[in-house]
């Protein structure tokens, strides 16, 4: 396929060509209308001049007589210009005027006529008055009006239309030049516009080709013009950043899943082999089966957490959100974990504003509170050896519902506070402690589902997990 065919197939070039055609047609019609109106105005002006002169001659004849009419007629007809003047007696015989040959029907029958005529050039072919050559006849086309005066004389007054036609020709010539200029200018402007647009599109295509080949670090260039292409490029770059983050997260999740599942599966295999040995006692086999069940439960909890996060990120089903008493849910969860915390030497303090309602999913809000409280109880062990403390708070703040679960444990480094919201992220490098690294990820997904946010803050010492949800 030729380069021209490729360019013509692009929407930009076809739209540009369409706009040029529309603009060209409009310009042609506009200039044709202007030319036609100019010609009509000139013709109307000539007709008005003819009628005005006839009325003047009629007034002179009526008020001052034939001699004054002849004097005025002779003076006007002797002046240079496009005027046509012919005065005849009642029989139609020529008396005065700058035209001597007028068709008989024009003279006899009053009305408006157009005819070709000849009139002498007083200077002949040269400006020398002594030139013996006879005067040259000047040809033309006249538009005239003939009338019969009160005394029976015939009066013909008109205008030469050759000059008017010459002026119309000038208008037509200018019109054609203007149309050609408009078309050329439109083609040049359209070509430049199409070239710039195609250049930007080619840049986006080249970038996308590099990305599809595996180079995810490529980004669409953004100029300083801040036009619609820059807005598109910015959105594409943001999307690419998000995709790169997701792929990186997927890689990390895959590595973490492989590590987290490999250990319990290895234990399951080891315990199963131990139970199958011929020398294994019934107690050994029973203990092996208990270990298998425990590891299986841990795997099931991990997969259940993953499934719940997937469902939450997919969005709540229709009708899953309802008006719930958040105060009651948070209070119940704090009361439920009170004995567990007390066994660990940790005190739970609850400051819950009563009667706070929210349009939310009761099960998911409860699960989020369970995860936060489990983490708080698990890590609320100060390094100084003092007693642990967990604070649970619920209140309305500036049109939002804020849920806070804070502890006085060792805390989370600032650099890791966003990372712990990702799946399978565990700050304990050995990964020997129980847990899957999905608790805060699930809480973050629940907060996003309800249009809110989860923020990890410093409690000095310890961690403050803050959920902010829009009030209903």
The dihedrals phi and psi of 339, each to the nearest 5 degrees, come to: -60, -40
> For residue 346, what are the β-bridge partners?
388
Q: What is the pLDDT along the chain (472 residues), one digit of tens a residue?
A: 455 665 566 666 677 778 778 877 887 788 778 778 877 887 888 888 888 988 888 888 888 888 888 888 888 888 887 888 888 888 888 888 888 888 888 888 889 888 887 766 554 444 454 555 444 455 678 888 898 888 888 888 988 877 666 666 777 777 778 778 877 887 787 777 777 777 877 888 888 888 888 777 888 888 887 877 788 888 888 888 888 777 776 676 666 666 666 767 777 788 777 777 767 678 877 887 887 887 787 777 667 766 666 666 666 554 567 888 999 999 999 998 888 888 888 888 999 999 888 888 888 888 888 888 988 888 877 666 667 889 999 999 888 999 999 988 888 888 777 777 776 666 654 444 555 667 788 888 888 888 889 988 888 888 889 999 988 6
What is the token pair recorded at 267?
């234990």
Q: What is the pLDDT of residue 328?
A: 92
Q: At what angle do helices 11-64 and 162-212 cross, to 10 degrees?
A: 160
Rounded Cα distance between 80 and 120, Å, is 12
Sequence-separated contacts (24+) of 90-93 with Cβ below 8 Å: 90/152, 90/153, 90/154, 92/154
Q: Are 380 and 336 in contact (CB under 8 A)?
A: no
Rounded Cα distance between 120 and 123, Å, is 9
Q: What is the pLDDT of residue 318?
A: 46
Q: What is the pLDDT of residue 240?
A: 85
Q: Are 106 and 113 in contact (CB under 8 A)?
A: yes
> For residue 402, what are the β-bridge partners?
395, 468
Rounded Cα distance between 229 and 140, Å, is 64
Rounded Cα distance between 117 and 453, Å, is 96
Query: Minimal CA–CA distance to 348: which of 403, 384, 381, 388?
Result: 388
| Domains (range + CATH), the chain | 65-160 (3.30.450), 219-314 (1.10.287), 322-470 (3.30.565.10)
E-state strands within 408-462? 453-458
Rounded to 5°, the CA angle 187-188-192 comes to 115
Q: Are 415 and 456 in contact (CB under 8 A)?
A: no
Sign, Cα dihedral of 410, 416, 418, 422: negative
The rounded Cα 30 to chain-centroid distance in angstroms is: 31
> For residue 406, what are the β-bridge partners?
391, 464
Q: What is the pLDDT of residue 404?
A: 92
- DSSP label at residue 149: -
Q: Are 442 and 312 in contact (CB under 8 A)?
A: yes
Q: Are 210 and 220 in contact (CB under 8 A)?
A: no
- DSSP label at residue 277: S
The dihedrals phi and psi of 100, each to the nearest 5 degrees, come to: -105, -15
- Rg of the chain on CA atoms, in Å: 51
What is the token pair recorded at 108?
């006899």
- Write the DSSP string, 114-142: EEEEEEE-TTTTSS-TT--SPPPEEEEEE
Q: What is the pLDDT of residue 8?
A: 65
Q: What is the pLDDT of residue 428?
A: 56
Q: What is the pLDDT of residue 136?
A: 47
Rounded Cα distance between 139 and 115, Å, is 11
Q: Are 327 and 353 in contact (CB under 8 A)?
A: yes
Burial pattern 1-21, b for ≥16 Cβ within 10 A else e, equals eeeeeeeeeeebbeebbeebe
pTM of the model: 0.47
Q: Is 240 helix (H, G, I), strand (E, B) or coil?
A: helix
Q: Are 72 and 60 in contact (CB under 8 A)?
A: yes
Q: What is the pLDDT of residue 430?
A: 42
Q: What is the pLDDT of residue 124?
A: 47
What is the token pair recorded at 232?
């598109």
List of residues 6+ apart from 83 with CB closer than 8 A = 53, 76, 77, 98, 157, 158, 159, 160
What is the token pair recorded at 42?
């000139």
């Amino acid at each position: 396929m030729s380069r021209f065919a490729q360019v013509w197939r692009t929407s930009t070039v076809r739209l540009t060509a369409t706009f040029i055609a529309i603009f060209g047609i409009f310009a042609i019609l506009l200039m044709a209308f202007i030319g036609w109106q100019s010609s009509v105005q000139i013709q109307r002006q000539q007709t008005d001049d003819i009628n005005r002169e006839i009325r003047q001659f009629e007034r002179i004849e009526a008020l001052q007589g034939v001699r004054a009419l002849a004097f005025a007629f002779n003076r006007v007809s002797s002046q240079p210009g496009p005027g046509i003047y012919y005065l005849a007696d009642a029989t139609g015989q020529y008396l005065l005027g700058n035209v001597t040959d007028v068709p008989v029907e024009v003279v006899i029958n009053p009305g408006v006529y157009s005819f070709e005529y000849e009139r002498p050039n007083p200077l002949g072919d040269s400006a020398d008055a002594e030139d013996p050559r006879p005067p040259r006849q000047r040809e033309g086309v006249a538009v005239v009006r003939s009338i019969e005066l009160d005394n029976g004389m015939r009066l013909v007054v008109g205008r030469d239309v050759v000059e008017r036609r010459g002026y119309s020709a000038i208008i037509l010539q200018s019109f054609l030049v203007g149309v050609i200029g408009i078309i050329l200018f439109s083609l040049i402007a359209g070509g430049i516009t199409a070239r710039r647009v195609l250049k930007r599109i080619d840049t986006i295509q080249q970038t996308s080709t590099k990305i599809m080949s595996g180079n995810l670090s490529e980004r669409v260039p953004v100029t300083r013009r801040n036009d619609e292409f820059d807005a598109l490029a910015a959105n594409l770059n943001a999307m690419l950043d998000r995709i790169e983050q997701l792929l990186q997260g997927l890689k990390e999740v895959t590595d973490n899943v492989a590590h987290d599942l490999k250990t319990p599966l290895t234990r399951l295999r080891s315990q199963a082999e131990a139970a199958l040995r011929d020398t294994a006692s019934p107690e050994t086999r029973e203990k092996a089966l208990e270990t298998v069940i425990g590891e299986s439960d841990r795997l099931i909890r991990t997969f259940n957490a993953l499934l719940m996060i997937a469902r939450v990120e997919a969005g709540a089903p229709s009708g899953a959100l309802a008006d719930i008493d958040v105060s009651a849910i948070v209070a119940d969860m704090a009361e439920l974990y009170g004995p567990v915390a007390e066994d660990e030497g940790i005190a739970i303090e609850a400051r819950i504003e009563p009667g706070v309602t929210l349009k939310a999913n009761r099960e998911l809000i409860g699960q989020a509170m369970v995860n936060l409280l489990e983490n708080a109880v698990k890590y609320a062990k100060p390094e100084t050896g003092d007693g642990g403390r967990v604070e649970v708070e619920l209140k309305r703040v500036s049109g939002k519902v804020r849920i806070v679960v804070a502890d006085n444990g060792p805390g989370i480094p600032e650099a890791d506070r966003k990372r712990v919201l990702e799946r399978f992220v565990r700050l304990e490098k050995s990964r020997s402690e129980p847990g899957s690294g999905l608790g805060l990820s699930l809480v973050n997904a629940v907060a996003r589902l309800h249009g809110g946010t989860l923020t990890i803050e410093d409690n000095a010492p310890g961690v403050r997990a803050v959920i902010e949800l829009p009030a209903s």
